[in-house]
């Protein structure tokens, strides 16, 4: 096969790197071809030669570069969907502010969304006003988990799940003893919308 343009190889390499950085996966042949306004066959031939020369890895489907590859760039896309109260439960109309990519190596696998904390009732758990709380979507929780839950009136709140009382009511606990000593919310039915896994905050 006739040797390909070194400049084109660099441009393809940079394009793949940028795509993986943003999307967390390999671009398709079509995406690369459309960007460079050439045929998919041309891009395929470039990738084959670049793979043979060790410039990148290409197996006919996945394209890995030395900087960004499948082992270190797996991402989960999460929506920032507005605020969640850490005080009294209130009715919220979630809206998507933006999407961000969460590295799987740091945040783990799963389906996530991100909420902005409001109020002061979870400060003993390290959650403060305007912190971004990374929530894994799930409908079950264990005692001690910090959950996004619907109360008996279908209102949202972020609290620590404290188990059940003798009447089988679910207990949601405030975590700010200085301001809300011993305060809880008791619910006839616990509806979990997710469990808090990480906090993103400004220093």
Pick from 106, 189, 195: nearest CA to 153: 189
93: containing domain: 75-200
In a domain, 166, yes or no: yes
Pairing of strands 156-164, 170-173: antiparallel
- 126 and 181 housed in the same domain: yes
Angle at 54 between CA 48 and CA 57, to 5 degrees: 60
- 104 and 159 housed in the same domain: yes
DSSP character string of 90-106? B-------EEEEEEHHH
- 47 and 109 housed in the same domain: no
DSSP character string of 38-80? S-HHHHHHHHHHHHHTTSSEESSS-EE-SSS-TTT--EEEEEE
In a domain, 55, yes or no: yes
By CB atoms closer than 10 A (0-12, 13-18, 19+), residue 93 is exposed
Is residue 175 within 8 Å of residue 134, measured between CB atoms? no
- 154 and 183 housed in the same domain: yes
- 142 and 178 housed in the same domain: yes
CATH code (residue 45) = 1.10.10.10
In a domain, 128, yes or no: yes
- 15 and 39 housed in the same domain: yes
- 155 and 127 housed in the same domain: yes
Pick from 141, 127, 137, 132: nearest CA to 87: 127
In a domain, 70, yes or no: no
In a domain, 38, yes or no: yes
- 98 and 27 housed in the same domain: no
Q: How far apart are CA 61 and CA 171, in angstroms?
A: 50
pLDDT tens for the 203 residues of the chain, in order: 455 789 999 999 999 988 887 777 789 999 999 999 999 999 999 999 999 998 888 988 888 888 766 555 566 778 887 776 665 554 545 567 777 777 776 787 788 989 888 889 999 999 998 899 999 999 999 999 999 998 777 778 899 999 999 999 999 999 999 999 999 999 888 889 899 999 998 77
- 89 and 178 housed in the same domain: yes
State how far the alpha carbon of 176 is from the alpha carbons of 26, 76, 101, 142, 182, in Å: 45, 32, 31, 20, 9
- 190 and 131 housed in the same domain: yes
Is residue 56 within 8 Å of residue 50, measured between CB atoms? yes
- 80 and 29 housed in the same domain: no
Q: Using the 3D structure, point to which of 64, 90, 107 is the last residue of a domain.
A: 64
| Catalytic site positions | 121, 159
């Amino acid at each position: 096969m006739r040797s390909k343009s070194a400049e084109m190889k660099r441009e393809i390499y940079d394009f793949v790197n940028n795509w993986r950085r943003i999307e967390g996966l390999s671009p398709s042949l079509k995406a690369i071809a459309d960007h460079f306004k050439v045929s998919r066959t041309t891009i395929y031939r470039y990738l084959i030669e670049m793979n043979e020369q060790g410039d990148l890895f290409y197996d006919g489907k996945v394209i890995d570069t030395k900087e960004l590859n499948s082992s270190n760039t797996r991402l989960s896309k999460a929506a920032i969907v507005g605020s969640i109260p850490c005080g009294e439960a209130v009715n919220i109309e979630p809206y998507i502010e933006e999407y961000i990519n969460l590295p799987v190596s740091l945040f783990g696998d799963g389906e996530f969304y991100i909420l902005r904390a409001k109020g002061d009732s979870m400060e003993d758990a390290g959650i403060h006003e305007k912190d971004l709380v990374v929530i894994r979507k799930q409908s079950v929780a264990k005692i001690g988990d910090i959950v996004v839950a619907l109360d008996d009136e279908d209102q949202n709140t972020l609290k620590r799940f404290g188990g059940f009382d003798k009447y089988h009511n679910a207990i949601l606990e405030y975590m700010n003893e200085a301001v809300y000593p011993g305060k809880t919310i008791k619910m006839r039915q616990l509806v979990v919308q997710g469990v808090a896994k990480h906090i993103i905050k400004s220093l």
